[in-house]
Structure 1
């Protein structure tokens, strides 16, 4: 059993939304998941439509009035059970517990159910008290959602300090990963924050981000995770990729006693480079995470990103002003994928060359420098590109993805 703590001192950063949708996506991947709500607001059970203010929660477990198995709400979603929270949980912060046991309570109560679940996803409270310390101490991975604002960035250092302290106190590695959320990269300010996050947390930034969309609020209102409310939406795909990335990290962790490199394929950052102008400044923003290991690992990571950048640039070749643009799409194995956009009068695959290999679909078009809008047609259904956060609203109430092709300057390649 692996424990994932979703934590941030700041509210409104997508923490609970991430916990709910990560748990749901893991469950849909045939994993046995326990979503444990440590936030007295009780929004995890609310997000699944099973909130009950009179329910027993972990406060009853901590005080010995119940055992953990008895308060679990089973089968709230495919593969997902929930431990609810109510406002009573606030009182847990004042429990008379020995100092050397204060941050190990939760780990102790999780022991009897270790064989029952593959993953425990913990929604931490937006504070650094007893509850959050217990979640971090029990975690095999700490996931920090960061919204695109100054307030979102503020206070993250404190989270790192706490994790570092717990590592030293308990003699175990607790990896930290940063997840950009509420991303609207159509704005210059958001792109600036993405760049700052990439520079500041380079080793720990996930190659996945979650964009800002009203679909998440609509799903929550219906008491459903977004993968059930709108499974083809961009944000549902992004949370699915977060689940894949999380499973890959924790599997590597089990095999190597540390967080390793992504198992297969190029990181999502590479796709962003290919879609959003190979020569632009966004290349280093969402770097693939690397195993901590000092300057040598940093050099390897920078070398990898430089190679990705150069490979992306090399996919453009000037031919009478036209440039060869290659767009890569992942996770569409066995599906019919077509490309339509302003460059081909929105006629699916007109003037587009398609190549498929190893589950990767490549769409090749010759374009003049400029800005284009496009959509994918997957098994006959139109949708935006889930790997491209650059989007604009369209007349049908959905979104078109944006492709920017800038004029390539002469570059010498070794």
Structure 2
């Protein structure tokens, strides 16, 4: 099983839309996929039609004392499943800090899912945290949606400074431009020549599109909501680029 995390220091950069749409594209590609919504806001859970809240106590689940697999929900798409968000996940860092597995606890926690799924996508909350540190151990790729703006690049640099990665670990982190508006000169320029601070960035990029906003209204990924839209095709291309690196 491959593990892909969507993470960023900043909020509002499109982590959830990327998580949901990449999951659906992988699912369309024939892969059994699980999305774990780690953000207490529960946006991925909402879009995929899940029910917020884990049935068992979160503390026991994250300690490995209760099986996470029993909390998985099926979605409307065959072989695309969901581990839903829970408001109590706002205490995630404290719970991970107190776990006995050290910085590999998250990796050990998700290992049993490899028996059923080919891909696990983690929709992570924003910020620098214990979860951020454990993602380096648990994820094969950490995708970082990045709006083409100086503040977004600064946030990416701060995230990388916090993680303090070795050369091989750095290769797991893959920023890509999201919410791109080609009417803006800076966006066009950075598509041609990305800032050195985020190199190497992925070649694929996602345009700003109203269809993405409609996802939360109709609770469907773009492949089903607007199969021919520019954003849908862009996510399809991003998935193919990602798949080639996994």
Counterparts of 1:33 and 1:176, CA distance in 2: 21
Counterparts of 1:126 and 1:90, CA distance in 2: 11
Instruction: Check conservation: 2:157, 2:197, Cα contact below 8 A.
Output: no
Where 1:35 maps in the other structure, the secondary structure is strand
Aligned length: 246
Per-residue deviation, 1:189: 3.1
RMSD (CA atoms):
2.5
Matches within 5 A, 1:135-154: 135-154=135-154
- The aligned residue for residue 61 of structure 1 is 61
Per-residue deviation, 1:59: 4.4
Q: Alpha carbons of 1:152 and 1:71: their partners in 2 closer, same or farther (altered >3 Å)? A: same
Matches within 5 A, 1:340-359: none
- The aligned residue for residue 123 of structure 2 is 123
- The aligned residue for residue 111 of structure 1 is 111
Counterparts of 1:80 and 1:58, CA distance in 2: 23
* 1:80 and 2:96 aligned: no
* 1:181 and 2:178 aligned: yes
* 1:246 and 2:242 aligned: yes
When you count strand as a share of all residues, which structure comes out higher? 1
* Structure 2 length-normalised TM: 0.89
Per-residue deviation, 1:116: 1.4
Q: Alpha carbons of 1:45 and 1:87: their partners in 2 closer, same or farther (altered >3 Å)? A: same
Per-residue deviation, 1:120: 0.8
Matches within 5 A, 1:181-330: 181-194=178-191, 197-202=194-199, 204-250=200-246
Per-residue deviation, 1:221: 1.1
Instruction: Check conservation: 1:58, 1:68, Cα contact below 8 A.
Output: no
* Structure 1 length-normalised TM: 0.55
User: Residue deviations 1:145-180, cap 9 Å, x none?
Assistant: 101223222221232234444x58xx8675121110
Counterparts of 1:192 and 1:57, CA distance in 2: 49
User: Residue deviations 1:281-316, cap 9 Å, x none?
Assistant: xxxxxxxxxxxxxxxxxxxxxxxxxxxxxxxxxxxx
Q: Alpha carbons of 1:192 and 1:123: their partners in 2 closer, same or farther (altered >3 Å)? A: same
Instruction: Check conservation: 1:28, 1:79, Cα contact below 8 A.
Output: no
When you count helix as a share of all residues, which structure comes out higher? 2
Q: Which of the pair has more CA radius of gyration? A: 1
User: Residue deviations 1:124-148, cap 9 Å, x none?
Assistant: 1101112232233201111111012
Per-residue deviation, 1:99: 8.5
Instruction: Check conservation: 1:24, 1:80, Cα contact below 8 A.
Output: yes
Q: Alpha carbons of 1:49 and 1:56: their partners in 2 closer, same or farther (altered >3 Å)? A: farther
Counterparts of 1:185 and 1:16, CA distance in 2: 22
